[in-house]
Structure formats: structure tokens, C-alpha cells
């Protein structure tokens, strides 16, 4: 007998079976964070609050852009890039977006965010492992697509000019603009950990995963209904506003017609819309990339943010999405004069190399960047400013109106119909090298 039994390859399952079933059926789940991680979120919130309390001119130093002068501290990328640095949408919200490189950050943010990045990415990776088991995949199936997002970098960015134009530019396909920008800007992370001799990190080498600190204006509108682009998103909220929409329960099969009821199935009364529910304070949500890689078995979470207190109460009817044992039920109402804040960690699939589809029950492999770009198509960036959203929405409607667009909204039809779809927006016009996230699914 061989006593040499190898250790299990993974930690034991994290989610109880009923919670995993809820997540895989509805796309969202309330979580109770371990104390140490909840503390880290509270510390990051305090640091983030301190940053948002700064005068507008100070915060603007951290916006993305190039050639913005010696005081500029933000990422040296396109000025319209909403996926890095500080963004302010007047009357709506402001947010600071961190990427794995952890560079170009206001003082104090790196120290508060880096440990939290590590713990959150690893928590979501573990939940992906559970989802893999639910799907009948190897629990390690996701490792290759998230490996480059798991650990934060060291926040050092020292562009002394000798790697411009080459290293990493093609790595994730989003580097050219970043790299060009670096020529015009020293790009030092002056508010952050000084140091030398350590591996340098350039923003252009970042995987698309992000950590975002939000502050919403009271009554400023929140975020329109959408689905996230990536694999899993963790939202930690201070103040009510995040709402989720469960999947419609399966409908009973139409009965054989009888003399009593001769209605055609198509004449059945229309279903009332599924109501929005207030999300638990800490909620994990599935994204479109997970939907696609699960062969469409796992829905992506429909969600929105409603910060108009009156609308939030009316639309969700005070019901809470805490119908599972894991949810945390302390999503206190924000007083209308108070700003809602949230910290969002969006774990996205790599854009480097190839994705082995066999690991997901498919066949062959696909270039990771191609998968990412296909899923990103026909999306509206719900975190862009009003004008940009209007342009994207109009283009989206134009394409749909011509009948050449997606037969149905969403990545399923995109994947089925290949990548020949007209592109309502590919991100270039708005964010240049950034990812558009969030799709409006019922554009009014």
C-alpha cells in the first residue's frame, strides 16, 4: 500500500452548497468577510475618504493624462481613460481606480490597498474554484486566467526612459498609449514608496483587473443597470444603493391545450418584471466573462446603483437580497445628505497569452485578448460621463436599429455569431486603451 498520498491540490470549498447554488443561479451572493479583511476594507475606506475630502485641484493631480506638467501625479495614459487614476463626473460621482501595478496613487493609498488586493483576489479565486466544482470543471481551471491578477505589484514606477517602446507593449495589447504617454511625463510615483533596484512596474503591463474606490454624490444618479465585464466582482458598500435583480424562476411548461383554455402559449399574459432587490452590504457578483467561460450556464449579475434615496426605496420596495444564510444584513440606509461610498474589486480574465478552452469543457484555445475584446464589444461604459454615455447609447441604438446588430444583447449572441458584429463601441473613442465595463441592457 502506498502511504504517500499527495495533499489535496486546493483548499476545501469555501461556500456552503446552498450559497454556491444561489450564486450560480442568480449571479450574486451576500458574503460575510473574515474580520481581518473587513478591517482592511474599513482602513481603505478611511484613506479613501481622506483623499476625497481634499480640494478638487489636489485630486485632479491624480487624473490620467500626459503632458500635464510637473505637478501631475496620475497615470501617464490617455486623459479619457476612466480605468486608471482619478475620475470626477460632475454631479454624479468620483472614483479612483487602481490597477495591479499600484502606481500613481495618492499618499497612503498603496499601503491600505495592496494587502486588500492580495486578500480579495485570492478570495475571489477561491470562489471561482467552488464555481468550477459546480460546473464539473477541475477546481484549478481558472488558475491560468487569473494568475496575473492575484498579487499586487510594489507600487514602484520609475520611468527613466530605457524601456520605452519595447517591453510589454504588445503584452496585453493595451500598452501603446500608456507607453507613448510615458515619454511626456516623468511618471514618478512621488507620493508613494520610494525605492530602487526592485522590479519596475509600468502601467501598460497591468492586467485588466481593477480596484475602484467610489464616492457617489447624494442624489447623483448612481450607475445605470448593467452587467460587469469580468469574472467576479466584489462590492463592499457604505450606504444603500446597489441593487441586484435575481433571475426569473423557471416558468412552468405550457399545458396541452384543452377545450377550457385554448390560448396559444404566445397569448399567455406577459410576466411582470423581476423586481430589483437591495444588495447585501458585501456582495459578490458574476460577470460576462464568467458567463461565457461557463458555456452560458452561469448568468452575469444584473445590477445598478440608485443613490436617489427616494427612488431606491420605491423601486426595491425595501426588500433585501439577503435570502441566503451568508449575507450580511447591515446595508444601512444612506441619509440623503450623505455620500454613498463603495469599494469594488473586479477580477477580470487575463489578456495575455492563450486561454485553454479545454479547461472549461470546450475545444482548443483562444487568444485571451480576442476573448476579452469580443466580450467587451457593444458595451456602454456606465462610469463614463453623461455625454460619452449618450454617444455610446446612440451608437448602440443605431446599430440595433439597422438590424445588423446583436440579435439579443449580450455576449452569448456575440460568441455564437462570431466576431463579425458591428461595434457600437469598442472603447477606443472614449477610453482609448481602457476597458469599457458594464452594458446597458434595456437602453431607454
Ligand X SMILES: O=C(O)CCC(=O)C(=O)O
Binding site for ligand X (CB under 6 A): 214, 223, 228, 235, 237, 242, 303, 305, 342, 344, 383, 437-438
Distance CA 11, CA 7 (A): 10
**Closest distance of CB 11 from Fe ion, Å:** 27
**Closest distance of CB 88 from Fe ion, Å:** 19
Chain Cα centroid distance, residue 83: 10
The span of 19-27, 35-43, 227-235, 325-333 binding Fe ion (CB under 5 A) equals 227-235
Q: 345 φ, ψ to 5°? A: -115, 115
| Contacts of 105 by beta carbon, 8 Å cutoff, 6+ apart | 62, 96, 98, 113, 155, 189, 191, 192
Q: Which is nearer to Fe ion, 60 or 291 (CB)?
A: 291
Q: Which is nearer to Fe ion, 76 or 438 (CB)?
A: 438
Q: Which is nearer to Fe ion, 79 or 443 (CB)?
A: 443
| Torsion, CA 384, CA 390, CA 395, CA 399, rounded to 10 | 110
Distance CA 398, CA 395 (A): 5
Query: What's the farthest any 2 CA atoms get from each other in the chain?
Result: 84
Distance CA 379, CA 398 (A): 13
- Give which of Fe ion, ligand X, none residue 439 binds (C-beta under 5 to 8 Å, depending on kind): none
Q: Which is nearer to Fe ion, 28 or 157 (CB)?
A: 28
Helix axes 17-26, 109-135, angle to 10 degrees: 90
Chain position whose Cβ is nearest to ligand X: 342
Q: Which is nearer to ligand X, 154 or 437 (CB)?
A: 437
418: which DSSP letter? T
| Contacts of 44 by beta carbon, 8 Å cutoff, 6+ apart | 109, 112, 113, 116, 213, 343
| Contacts of 166 by beta carbon, 8 Å cutoff, 6+ apart | none
Helices and strands, number each (H, E), in the chain? 12, 13
**Closest distance of CB 162 from Fe ion, Å:** 39
- Give which of ligand X, Fe ion, none residue 326 binds (C-beta under 5 to 8 Å, depending on kind): none
- Give which of ligand X, Fe ion, none residue 305 binds (C-beta under 5 to 8 Å, depending on kind): ligand X
Q: Count how many residues are written for the chain.
A: 444
Q: Which is nearer to ligand X, 78 or 342 (CB)?
A: 342
**Closest distance of CB 285 from Fe ion, Å:** 7
**Closest distance of CB 225 from Fe ion, Å:** 9
Contact 351, 173 (CB under 8 A): yes
Contact 274, 248 (CB under 8 A): yes
The span of 173-181, 223-231, 372-380, 409-417 binding Fe ion (CB under 5 A) equals 223-231
- Give which of ligand X, Fe ion, none residue 149 binds (C-beta under 5 to 8 Å, depending on kind): none
- Give which of Fe ion, ligand X, none residue 372 binds (C-beta under 5 to 8 Å, depending on kind): none
- Give which of Fe ion, ligand X, none residue 23 binds (C-beta under 5 to 8 Å, depending on kind): none
Q: Which is nearer to ligand X, 279 or 359 (CB)?
A: 279
**Closest distance of CB 5 from ligand X, Å:** 44
Q: Determine which helix (DSSP H) or strand (DSSP E) holds 61, and give its type and residue range.
A: none
Q: Is 174 an interacting residue with respect to Fe ion (CB under 5 A)?
A: no
- Give which of Fe ion, ligand X, none residue 98 binds (C-beta under 5 to 8 Å, depending on kind): none
Strand partners, 88: 94
**Closest distance of CB 309 from ligand X, Å:** 15
- Give which of ligand X, Fe ion, none residue 383 binds (C-beta under 5 to 8 Å, depending on kind): ligand X
**Closest distance of CB 227 from ligand X, Å:** 9
Q: Which is nearer to ligand X, 102 or 237 (CB)?
A: 237
Distance CA 158, CA 300 (A): 39
Q: Is 228 an interacting residue with respect to Fe ion (CB under 5 A)?
A: yes
Pairing mode, if any, of strands 93-99 and 28-30? unpaired
- Give which of Fe ion, ligand X, none residue 352 binds (C-beta under 5 to 8 Å, depending on kind): none
- Interface positions with Fe ion (CB under 5 A): 228
Amino acid at each position: 500500500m502506498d502511504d504517500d498520498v499527495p495533499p489535496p491540490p486546493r483548499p476545501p470549498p469555501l461556500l456552503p452548497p446552498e450559497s454556491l447554488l444561489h450564486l450560480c443561479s442568480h449571479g450574486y451572493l451576500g458574503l460575510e468577510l473574515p474580520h481581518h479583511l473587513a478591517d482592511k476594507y474599513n482602513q481603505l475606506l478611511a484613506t479613501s475618504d481622506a483623499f476625497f475630502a481634499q480640494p478638487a485641484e489636489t485630486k485632479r493631480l491624480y487624473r490620467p493624462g500626459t503632458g500635464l506638467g510637473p505637478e501631475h501625479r496620475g497615470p501617464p495614459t490617455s486623459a479619457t481613460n476612466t480605468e486608471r487614476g482619478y475620475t470626477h463626473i460632475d454631479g454624479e460621482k468620483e472614483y479612483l481606480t487602481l490597477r495591479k501595478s499600484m502606481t500613481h496613487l495618492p499618499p497612503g493609498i498603496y499601503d491600505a490597498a495592496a494587502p486588500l488586493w492580495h486578500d480579495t483576489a485570492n478570495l475571489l479565486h477561491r470562489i471561482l474554484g467552488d464555481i468550477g466544482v459546480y460546473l464539473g470543471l477541475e477546481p484549478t481551471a481558472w488558475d491560468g486566467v487569473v494568475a496575473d491578477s492575484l498579487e499586487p505589484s510594489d507600487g514602484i514606477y520609475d520611468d527613466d526612459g530605457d524601456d520605452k517602446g519595447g517591453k510589454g507593449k504588445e503584452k496585453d495589447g493595451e500598452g501603446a498609449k500608456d507607453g507613448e504617454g510615458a515619454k511626456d511625463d516623468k511618471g514618478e510615483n512621488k507620493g508613494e514608496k520610494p525605492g530602487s533596484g526592485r522590479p519596475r512596474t509600468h502601467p501598460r503591463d497591468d492586467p485588466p483587473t481593477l480596484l475602484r474606490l467610489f464616492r457617489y454624490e447624494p442624489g447623483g444618479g448612481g450607475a445605470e443597470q448593467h452587467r460587469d465585464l469580468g469574472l467576479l466582482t466584489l462590492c463592499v458598500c457604505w450606504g444603500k444603493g446597489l441593487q441586484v435583480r435575481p433571475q426569473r424562476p423557471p416558468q412552468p411548461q405550457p399545458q396541452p391545450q384543452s377545450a377550457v383554455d385554448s390560448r396559444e402559449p404566445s397569448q399567455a399574459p406577459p410576466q411582470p418584471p423581476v423586481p430589483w432587490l437591495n444588495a447585501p452590504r458585501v456582495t459578490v457578483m458574476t460577470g460576462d466573462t464568467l458567463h461565457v467561460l461557463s458555456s452560458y450556464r452561469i448568468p452575469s449579475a444584473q445590477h445598478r446603483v440608485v443613490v436617489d434615496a427616494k427612488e431606491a426605496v420605491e423601486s426595491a420596495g425595501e426588500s433585501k437580497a439577503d435570502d441566503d444564510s451568508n449575507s450580511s444584513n447591515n446595508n444601512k440606509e444612506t441619509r440623503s445628505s450623505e455620500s454613498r461610498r463603495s469599494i469594488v474589486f473586479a477580477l477580470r480574465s487575463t489578456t495575455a497569452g492563450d486561454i485553454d478552452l479545454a479547461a472549461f469543457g470546450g475545444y482548443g484555445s483562444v487568444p485571451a485578448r480576442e476573448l476579452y475584446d469580443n466580450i467587451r464589444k457593444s458595451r456602454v461604459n456606465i462610469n463614463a460621463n453623461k455625454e460619452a454615455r449618450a454617444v455610446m447609447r446612440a451608437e448602440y441604438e443605431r446599430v440595433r436599429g439597422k438590424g445588423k446588430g446583436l440579435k439579443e444583447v449580450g455576449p452569448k449572441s456575440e460568441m455564437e455569431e462570431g466576431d463579425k458584429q458591428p461595434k457600437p463601441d469598442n472603447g477606443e473613442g472614449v477610453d482609448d486603451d481602457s476597458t469599457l465595463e458594464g452594458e446597458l441592457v434595456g437602453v431607454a
